[in-house]
């Protein structure tokens, strides 16, 4: 049993018990209007069509909004708990006819073979431990896309991390309340190795109190925009734009989690070259 008293899942996602992961993502489901507005803008500017693949769609925060805007969306996530919530939300929003949800590992994409997409989103959902692994994921993804298709990759990068750190040194520890979940978060940066360790404690609101549910310790190696650009180019994608406004995409005044600010949105287009 995990600390939240739920049967331990085989599917640990980023070191989180699947049930905890689901609670955290569900608490963020109503966030990111600007994020989604920006995604829509990039799709309208660069995508050759409206067939969208959302890699690591979580609880459908983005997929369902895009479905409501008339895109035809396929959302894929490892977590069946998250996919269940994404489907429920699609029903609630009346967008089910425009969105299909699949439980699966997007490094393989077997369940969508035979279909070609105009755009793929990978929004804070990395499934790689090294840049070589990222190259192979982007290369495999290219096989499921139409020529001229685009990838919107939003990922934590060293440049944004350092820029945020210089703007607000106090971000080294903070708390965040989203929905009924309180997260206490502290991190440490090891500059020689570009490594970050984080400790998060999660609490759930119980009446006027908060009840402790879990503690998660994690470690990341921060890659740079140049690392990701090189991986994309090696896999046949041309980087066409690095979004400048990524720092305020999530309305930090409403969404008190600087970790999300440490990311860049990279727009890449599939050219004639294939991996
Ligand atoms: C931080 S959440 C982001 C969810 C969504 N993109 C959003 O912005 O709201 C990352 C999601 O990626 C999913 N994920 C991670 N690795 C995956 C993989 N290999 N295949 C499918 N989903 C994956 C996790 O289960 C998680 O739901």
Is the C-beta atom of 124 inside 6 A of ligand 1? yes
d(CA 38, CA 45): 11
* Mean pLDDT score across all residues of the chain: 85
Highest mean pLDDT among 26-40, 204-218, 250-264 belongs to 204-218
Give percent of the chain with pLDDT exceeding 70. Answer: 84
- pTM value > 0.85: yes
Instruction: Give, for ligand 1, the residue of 14, 77, 176, 179 to mutate: max count of ligand atoms closer than 8 Å to Cβ.
Output: 77
Confidence band, pLDDT 50/70/90 cuts, at residue 2:
very low
Q: Is the CB of 222 under 6 A from ligand 1?
A: no
76 Cα to the center of ligand 1, angstroms: 8
For 157-178, write each residue's pLDDT tens digit: 998 888 777 766 666 677 777 7
Q: Distances in Å between the alpha carbon of 15 and those of 20, 90, 103, 212, 220?
A: 10, 27, 19, 18, 12
Reported as a single tens digit per residue, the pLDDT across 35-85 is 788 899 999 999 999 999 999 999 999 999 999 999 999 999 999 999 999
| Pocket test residue of 28, 52, 58 for ligand 1, highest count of atoms within 8 A of CB | 58
Rounded to an integer, the average pLDDT of 224-249 is 84
Domain 18-156+223-270: CATH class, spelled out: alpha beta
Evaluate: CB of 235 within 6 angstroms of ligand 1: no
């Amino acid at each position: 049993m995990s600390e939240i008293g739920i049967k331990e899942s085989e599917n640990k996602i980023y070191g989180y018990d699947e049930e905890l992961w689901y609670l955290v993502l569900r608490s963020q489901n109503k966030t990111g209007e600007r994020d989604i507005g920006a995604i829509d803008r990039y799709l309208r500017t660069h995508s050759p069509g409206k067939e969208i693949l959302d890699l690591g769609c979580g609880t459908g925060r983005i997929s369902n909004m895009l479905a409501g805007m008339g895109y035809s969306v396929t959302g894929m996530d490892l977590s069946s708990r998250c996919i269940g919530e994404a489907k429920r939300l699609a029903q609630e929003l009346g967008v089910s006819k425009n969105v299909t949800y699949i439980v699966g590992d997007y490094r393989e994409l077997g369940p969508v073979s035979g279909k070609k997409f105009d755009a793929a989103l990978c929004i804070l959902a990395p499934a790689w431990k090294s840049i070589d692994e990222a190259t192979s994921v982007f290369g495999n993804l290219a096989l499921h896309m139409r020529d001229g298709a685009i990838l919107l990759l939003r990922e934590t990068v060293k440049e944004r991390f350092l820029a945020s750190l210089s703007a607000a040194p106090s971000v080294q520890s903070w708390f965040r309340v989203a929905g009924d979940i309180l997260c206490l978060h502290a991190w440490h940066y090891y500059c020689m190795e570009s490594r970050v360790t984080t400790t998060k404690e999660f609490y759930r609101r119980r009446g006027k109190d908060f009840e402790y549910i879990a503690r998660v310790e994690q470690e990341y190696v921060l890659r740079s925009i140049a690392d990701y650009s090189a991986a994309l180019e090696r896999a046949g994608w041309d980087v066409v734009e690095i979004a400048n406004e990524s720092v305020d995409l999530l309305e930090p005044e409403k969404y008190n989690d600087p970790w999300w600010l440490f990311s860049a949105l990279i727009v890449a287009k599939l050219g004639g070259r294939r991996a």
